[in-house]
């Protein structure tokens, strides 16, 4: 019944080590089935080389396990909140990829310095602050989901345009219409994060790029007359 999302979640998870985005099991991808209001997610602690499509765990939007013998990723509640709150997303990726995580540990948004960034979003990649202590002590992974959702609302960010972000002192979360796009976004975030780091090292006085160029690049790829591709 859930074979499609299990296979898609498996395929997407297997892309993470190929793209150099994970060490050991430090990452997970889920894929949603909107009709049945469930998602398939990587089981907890299983090495990528041992993973099979049938290992994916099926979970509903309240984090109840619907199908599967293995324990779902410990980040499952964060995924569930995002699927519940953001109806337009089809897949979520969480990694501790090196450069993205370093920006998250720095508690800084990643400034938009070039067209590689602007091809994908017009905003700095946002970094949500770490949670308040009582949220940390409570239902932590569930609250992480709301920390993300609340930060987007507070900053007037649209999750359909900004498909990647950082949780402060933690690491990146990305999403997209399907598993392939979500993993693509996770790789783009890491690439942009590395180049932004280098840019500031090369020119400590650097400014964000100008709005006219940001908008041109974003519109040529995502606007109503989009024509982009390389």
Q: Give the nearest distance from C-beta 56 to its own copies in angstroms.
A: 14
Q: Give the nearest distance from C-beta 7 to its own copies in angstroms.
A: 20
140 is an active site residue: no
DSSP letter assigned to residue 110: B
228 is an active site residue: yes
Query: Do the bridges between strand 127-128 and strand 164-167 make them parallel or antiparallel, or are there none, so unpaired?
Result: parallel
Query: Do the bridges between strand 65-67 and strand 172-176 make them parallel or antiparallel, or are there none, so unpaired?
Result: unpaired
> What stretch of H or E contains 41?
strand 38-41
| Residue 136 lies near its own copies (rule: CB under 8 A) | yes
Question: In whole angstroms, what is the distance from residue 167 CA to residue 121 CA?
Answer: 18
User: Please, are residues 178 and 83 in contact by the beta-carbon 8 Å criterion?
Assistant: no
| Residue 195 lies near its own copies (rule: CB under 8 A) | yes
**Residues in contact with its own copies, shown as a per-residue x/- string from 141 to 180 under the rule CB under 8 A:** ----------------------------xxx---------
DSSP letter assigned to residue 101: H
**Tokens for 91?**
């897949």
Q: At a CB cut-off of 8 Å and minimum separation 6, what does 108 contact? A: 127
Nearer to its own copies (CB atom), residue 61 or residue 197: 197
Nearer to its own copies (CB atom), residue 1 or residue 129: 129
Q: Give the nearest distance from C-beta 45 to its own copies in angstroms.
A: 3
Q: At a CB cut-off of 8 Å and minimum separation 6, what does 112 contact? A: 118, 121, 122, 123, 124, 208, 209, 214
| Residue 73 lies near its own copies (rule: CB under 8 A) | yes
| Residue 18 lies near its own copies (rule: CB under 8 A) | no
Query: For residue 215, what are the CA distances in angstroms to 19, 175, 197, 223?
Result: 28, 22, 22, 9
Nearer to its own copies (CB atom), residue 14 or residue 156: 14
Query: What angle, rounded to 10 degrees, do the helices at 3-18 and 179-202 form?
Result: 20
**Residues in contact with its own copies, shown as a per-residue x/- string from 94 to 133 under the rule CB under 8 A:** x-x-xx-xxxxxxxx----xxxx-------------xx-x
| Residue 2 lies near its own copies (rule: CB under 8 A) | no
In the block, which residue shows the tokens 């780091």? 197
Nearer to its own copies (CB atom), residue 1 or residue 198: 198
Positions in the binding site for its own copies (CB under 8 A): 23-28, 42-46, 71, 73-75, 94, 96, 98-99, 101-108, 113-116, 130-131, 133, 136-137, 140, 169-171, 184, 187-188, 191, 194-203, 206, 209-210, 212-213, 216, 220, 227-230
Residues tagged active-site: 119, 228
């Amino acid at each position: 019944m859930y074979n499609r999302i299990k296979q898609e979640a498996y395929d997407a998870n297997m892309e993470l080590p190929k793209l150099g985005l994970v060490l050991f099991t430090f990452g997970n991808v889920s894929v949603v089935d909107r009709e049945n209001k469930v998602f398939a997610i990587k089981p907890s602690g299983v090495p990528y080389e041992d993973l099979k499509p049938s290992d994916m765990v099926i979970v509903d939007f309240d984090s109840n396990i619907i199908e599967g013998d293995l324990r779902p990723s410990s980040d499952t509640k964060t995924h569930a909140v995002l699927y519940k709150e953001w109806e337009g997303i089809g897949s979520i990726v969480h990694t501790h990829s090196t450069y993205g995580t370093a920006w998250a540990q720095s508690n800084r948004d990643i400034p938009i310095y070039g067209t590689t960034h602007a091809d994908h979003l017009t905003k700095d990649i946002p970094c949500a602050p770490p949670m308040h202590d009582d949220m940390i002590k409570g239902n932590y992974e569930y609250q992480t989901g709301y920390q993300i959702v609340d930060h987007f609302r507070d900053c007037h960010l649209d999750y359909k345009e900004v498909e990647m972000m950082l949780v402060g002192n933690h690491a990146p979360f990305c999403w997209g219409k399907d598993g392939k796009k979500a993993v693509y976004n996770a790789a783009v975030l890491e690439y942009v994060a590395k180049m932004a780091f280098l840019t500031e090292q090369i020119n400590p006085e650097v400014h964000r790029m100008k709005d006219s160029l940001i908008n041109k690049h974003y519109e040529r790829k995502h606007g109503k007359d989009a024509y982009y591709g390389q």
